[in-house]
Chain A
Amino acid sequence: MKELPLWQGEQVDLAALIGQSPGIMAEPTQKPLSLQDMILRLHAFWSEQGCLILQPYDMRMGAGTFHTATTLRALGPEPWNAAFVQPCRRPTDGRYGENPNRLQHYYQYQVILKPSPENLQELYLQSLVEIGIDPLVHDIRFVEDDWESPTLGAWGLGWEVWCDGMEVTQFTYFQQMGGFDCKPVAGELTYGLERLAMYIQGVDNVYDLAFNNHGVTYGDVFLENEKQMSKWNFEVADTDSLFEGFRRAEAECVRSLEAGVPIAAYEQAIEASHLFNLLQARGVISVQERASYMGRVRDLARGSCEKFMEKNADQWAAKYPEWSK
């Protein structure tokens, strides 16, 4: 893999940025960014910082962290810098399109930087300025919030970033992934895109968000999906085939691990995890069973990470003697 440029030690002059009120802040009359323009701004910004701009992973998943660009790439010594939008599915959060703040399908903007650059906080704050948040008008705060995903055998320290009391980003320094120490540590930023857009546009209902600058709203695009998918998640989905799917994914994961294709195995772990979430939404997993299902998903994810490490270990150790110590 080609090494990407790093910015260690290079300080961003935020003072100058704020002083100049760059971007849209310079033009108070300009309309706030639409959802898609906000994404484009973030892409442009992180691209300029040397990130790969990836596309979403083509599978249903509960969080951007599941993307192989985050989970698997957080392992191993090689530098990795990527940004992407990931659609997330949280079946139990479905509200049939009736709640202005809750969706069963929404977008996360993920940035993963390995090793974590020294000026990660400054870069992040600069990205907020880029999308129109002036930190001398809005109160930006880093509030302790450590992250842990038992399913991925992962944890990290960091903050939830508040903008005027609203959590807009999860900011994490990964310490472990799949049960392995992160060497080196990756910094992960997860922006809640709808929330941020609602904030920037001053909109109280997610369905009123301007998707573009030509009159199309978020509701035009997704309201019907939310209605139908909520119904499917909670009422329609065939539980027998979900259970069957879970078992198949589990078996396929194990088979793939044996065949030495951990990336394929990991995809099955993602699949099992989402099927488990659907079964939860259908209310067919009892409290007692819940822990056992979660344990099974964890084993798949961990097994995949383990195999991924194993497969690459020699090559990494040869290139980064420090790493194998």
Chain B
Amino acid sequence: MTDFLLELRSEEIPARMQAGARADLEKLFRKALDAAGLKAGEVTVWSTPRRLALIARDLPRATEAVSEETKGPKTSAPEQALEGFLRKTGLTKDQLTERDGVWFAVTEKPGRATKDVLAEAIPAIIRAFPWPKSQRWGAASLSTESLRWVRPLSGIVAILGEDLVECEIGGVKSGYATRGHRFHCPGEITIGSAHDYAEKLRACHVIVDHVEREALVRDKAKAAAEVVGLVLVEDEGLVIENAGLTEWPVPLLGRFDEAFLDVPPEVIQLTARVNQKYFICRDAGGKLANAFVCTANIEAKDGGAAIVDGNRKVLAARLSDARFFWEQDKKKPLSVHAEKLGRITFHEKLGTVADKVERVAKLARWLVEEGIVKPEISNIRHSREGGNSASATPDWTPAFAGVTKEELADQAELAARLCKADLVTEMVGEFPELQGLMGGYYARAEGLPDAVADAIRDHYKPVGQGDDVPTAPVTVAVALADKLDTLGAFFSIDEKPTGSKDPFALRRAAIAVLALLQANGIRISVVRVVAVLVFAGMVFPQRSANATSMAQFLDKWRDTVLSLRPSGIIEFFDDFRKKSVEGNRSNEVLIGMFESFIRACQELPTFLADRLKVQQREAGVRHDLIDAVFALGGEDDLVRLLARVHALQAFVGTEDGTNLLAGYKRAANILKKEGFTANPNAGSEGEGIVPPTGEEDPLAMVDDPALKGVAAQFSHPEQNYVREPAEQALVDALAVAAPQAQDAVAAEDFAGAMAALATLRGPIDAFFESVIVNDADANKRASRLALLDQFRAAVHKVADFSRIEG
């Protein structure tokens, strides 16, 4: 047993790639040993900017000898088969062994020296190494087939025990020699074995163990701050990055001009962190201090004075840029900055960011005016959490008491109009990650109300799972409007996510919308939202040659359409689409426009419902129950969908639920067997369709799914026989339960709807017990099938039970 050391030395490996490289090196090494039949015990992998190192403990000196047995043809097989087998194995017939009438070839493989295995494995590992980016270099790169590595590979140390493992790749030969610290010990050093490797490097100012360097950075940076009475803002990402940039880390504290502290702390932190990889510090009171900690790679002759001074200057130059931006930006109010948004394309088919802002502003106002986002929306939350506004008021006082709907609408519209203005400020141009945050600062600096400034700051939220979901009404209105607009607009131009492609992050926007709706208990019809966006100018400003007349036209219809139910809205657009196709008014632009409205109305609710489905599945709700509710279709209120799913989940857990489900399945099977066509609309919600012309259309009434059941009863064959008691009981029970369930659904009392269905359980069980559906009398048969169909229809008022498993 002996230990093996491998060091792959190169020019500076990017810090961000080192962790992955360590994992890959271990994986490839273990795979190579496995393939050779060598057992790998403990394997340690280290990295510095200039080397990857691996130590494998207790490797055997050689692989074990193995005898391999290959199965050949049967002894009874034709001669050719045996000849073929002998050729393949290179043996003669007398070298084969026979067992149970089958020839076997046994080959003895002697053990191989581990050193030989490694000598082959090392070049193969290097060649197969999966760097995220790699390059060629030097004279050998005359051919594109030359070796690739993350940066030029300069040396290989490979020692098994105390023996050199000889190998060569890309002109680099293995040896005992490596190099120490680039500046402290630039000469060659000779390594004896895995045992003295780390200590020899340490003597040459290289701490090869990255974990040790990380601890050094962490502890010494903290200590450097403590010495001057400050608290380091801990940042594990920076710890790892600085350890990945140094072989001999020396954290040093420096100061910057206090005057820079006028700049928002986030800006200072970002400047220091992203551009310079410095830690920042706070004073005892938690305020940002005018100090930074940089991590040098040398033990400087002057104790680091020159390094600190140089870094201070660089930071000062960057901070004065930032301060310049901050002051420049503040010279103009956000409303003036916002004027420039007309120059930024949002999407070539969707106009500019200014167009988007216009839509978001109108939608945000509408959300408030419609009472969808309410002034008192988050009273409870706010007073409980003791947020900003609650600090001065007693717990029981609603945080937003006193704000009228009209005031809230004004604030939401104002915040929406300004929420993207910071995109054209100098600061956000320099630090895009500060979008929103800077808008909030600038809004406060110009004296806008806190609610507006907060909304501008937070309107991108929630960004990803685990992010705070806004609850302040103005913020909720703007955040929702912004995301819904993005969704509606991209759906209208048919830019939907497909597979893994989601270039406009629409899935994320959808998840954020769901989170906002759920956290704030907001009810919303997606179709109506799309309609608001349409009237706010979605699609037509850029594409239509006569945008003004289009706007006037749409303006005329706005109030009418927005008073319609979702299905009526779609009908309205479709009606105009048809009119655009017909006759001498046929107009490609108009057709395309109405088609895109309809597309958004139809596809966006489904998309959001799908996201909700995924979200609920992840939350552990049975997928079949989700399907059962979602299969009904025609529902664009996500909160209502969710309430239904939850009620159904509770119901199927009860004995009544289980039995009703069994009865339902039996009825459905009989109907299916008898080829009894299902009533296609039996389960749908029954949104009344208001004709877009405003005229009453009697035919539309018949099509109304809500009346389908009633109509069906009348259309069934006349019942001209005496019903059996159980049959009559079911008829009676249905007469009560069906409207009850329907009313309960309409009142969104889903538990009540379930309770109504539960009353059908006894009668349906009894019906199947004693009544023969498939009676010889065609009349009886038809009547009973119709009864079962009614039963099924009643159940479908609540959910599509055919989707439920079990």
Contact = CB atoms under 8 A, between A and B. Distances in A.
A305 B207 CA distance: 46
Contacts of B315: 165
Contacts of B276: 165
Interface in A128-145: 134-144
A18 B185 CA distance: 10
A115 B297 CA distance: 30
9 contacts: A14-B183, A139-B296, A157-B134, A165-B310, A173-B152, A183-B143, A185-B135, A287-B343, A288-B345
Contact of A165 (B11, B15, B301, B314): B314
A156 B134 CA distance: 10
A141 B297 CA distance: 8
Given A138-B307, A138-B310, A140-B183, A322 B142 contact: yes
B692 to A, nearest CB: 37
Given A135-B182, A163-B310, A286-B343, 7 more contacts: A18-B186, A115-B139, A137-B300, A137-B306, A139-B297, A164-B306, A322-B143
User: Interface residues of B: mostly helix, strand, loop or mixed?
Assistant: loop
B144 A183 contact: yes
Contact of A157 (B16, B135, B245): B135
A163 B313 CA distance: 12
Contact of B142 (A77, A158, A175): A77
A93 interface: no
Contacts of A214: none
A26 interface: no
Which residue, B142, B298, B311, has most C-beta atoms of chain A within 10 A?
B142
B306 A184 contact: no
A257 B294 CA distance: 52
A120 to B, nearest CB: 8
Contacts of B139: 6, 8, 115, 184
Interface string A174-192: 0100000111110100000
A108 to B, nearest CB: 19
Interface string A5-34: 010100001110010000000000000000
Contacts of B211: none
Contacts of A323: 142-143
B68 to A, nearest CB: 40
B307 A164 contact: yes
A116 B137 contact: yes
Contacts of A135: 182-183, 298
B179 to A, nearest CB: 10
Contact of A184 (B16, B138, B345): B138
Residue of A134, A175, A286 contacting most chain B CB atoms (<10 Å): A175
A18 to B, nearest CB: 7
A269 to B, nearest CB: 25
B184 A182 contact: no
Given A14-B186, A142-B49, A322-B142, A101 B135 contact: no
Nearest to B316: A204
A144 B309 CA distance: 23
Interface in A202-237: 204
In this complex, the interface size class of chain B, counting residues with CB under 8 Å from chain A, is: 35 or more
A137 B302 contact: yes
A221 B138 CA distance: 41
B140 interface: yes
Interface in B301-353: 301-302, 306-307, 309-311, 313-315, 317, 343-345, 348
B314 A164 contact: yes
Interface residues on chain A, size class: 35 or more
Contacts of B300: 136-139
A149 interface: no
Contacts of B245: 141, 143
Interface in B651-683: none
Contacts of A136: 183-184, 298, 300-301
B138 A116 contact: yes
A165 B306 CA distance: 11
A184 B140 contact: yes
A132 B300 CA distance: 16
Contact of B141 (A15, A117, A159, A182): A182
Contacts of B144: 181, 183
A185 B137 contact: yes
Given A141-B245, A165-B311, A101 B317 contact: yes
Query: Which of B137, B138, B298, B317 has the most CB atoms of chain A within a 10 A radius of its CB?
Result: B137
Contacts of A118: 138, 152, 154
A137 B299 CA distance: 8
B136 interface: yes
B135 A138 contact: no
Contact of B136 (A6, A140, A185): A185
Interface string A62-106: 000000000000000100000000000000000000000100000
A166 interface: yes
A286 B302 CA distance: 52
A115 B142 contact: yes
Nearest to B276: A165
B143 A325 contact: yes
Given A8-B139, A115-B138, A144-B16, A166 B301 contact: no
A125 B183 CA distance: 10
A146 B345 contact: no
Given A117-B138, A184-B139, A322-B143, A166 B314 contact: yes
A136 B306 CA distance: 10
A72 to B, nearest CB: 18
Contacts of A143: 12, 245
B136 A175 contact: yes
A287 B186 contact: no
A14 B179 CA distance: 12
Contact of B12 (A125, A142, A164, A183): A142
Contacts of A115: 137-139, 141-142
Contact of B306 (A8, A101, A138): A138
Nearest to B313: A204
A139 B137 CA distance: 26
B237 to A, nearest CB: 15
A199 interface: yes
A187 B109 CA distance: 49
B185 to A, nearest CB: 8
Contacts of B302: 137
Contacts of A163: 310
B142 A18 contact: no
B343 A157 contact: no
B151 interface: yes
B168 to A, nearest CB: 15
A322 B142 CA distance: 7
Contacts of B296: 139
A101 B143 CA distance: 42
Contact of A137 (B185, B301, B313): B301
A118 B153 CA distance: 9
B87 interface: no
Nearest to A288: B345
Nearest to B254: A165
B14 interface: yes
B12 A175 contact: no
Contacts of B15: 144
B452 to A, nearest CB: 28
A6 B138 CA distance: 11
A181 B145 CA distance: 11
B302 to A, nearest CB: 6
B310 A185 contact: no
A121 interface: yes
A85 B16 CA distance: 34
A43 to B, nearest CB: 25
Interface string A256-283: 0000000000000000000000000000
* A77, A101, A141: residue with the most chain B Cβ atoms closer than 10 Å: A141
Nearest to B308: A164
A165 B135 CA distance: 26
B691 to A, nearest CB: 43
B140 A156 contact: no
Contacts of A146: 133
